[in-house]
Structure 1
């Protein structure tokens, strides 16, 4: 298993509300899983990702499938 770190961040309230709506409709996802997928995809799309970011992204997407 990959080691993890905690990140504390403020996000707009409307984004938080949208996240809660998504999570209510997708019980197999949680806040950590969504944020991990989003961050790893951001890094891949913006050219700062490497094979480690790609692996985290794919593992996050297909977790619990």
Structure 2
């Protein structure tokens, strides 16, 4: 995702409460990431199957995480590789 556009929208309060509850238990997600994933998935399912929407959806799910993936050289990964 190279550029972004800000939007302002109103959502039902019950949906907002559900979103807040989700975000409290999933600290690697934020409102922008959730809404981007939801909108891009909606467009994939209901639009013209635009590859750009698919790319945004996949990037949002897999590349936008604030949680670091251990490298193959990290001690945590080395311990996993040593176990039978």
Shorter chain as denominator, the TM-score bin is over 0.9
Aligned counterpart, 2:48: 48
TM-score of the pair, normalised by structure 1: 0.93
Instruction: Give every structure 1 segment of 4 or more consecutive aligned residues whose post-TM-superposition deviation is greater than 4 Å.
Output: none
| Bigger radius of gyration among the two | 2
Q: Cα RMSD between the aligned structures?
A: 1.2
How does the TM-score come out when normalised to structure 2?
0.73
Unaligned runs of 5+ residues in structure 2 are 68-84
1:40/1:49 contact within 8 Å kept = no
Q: Which consecutive unaligned segments of at least 5 residues does structure 1 have?
A: none
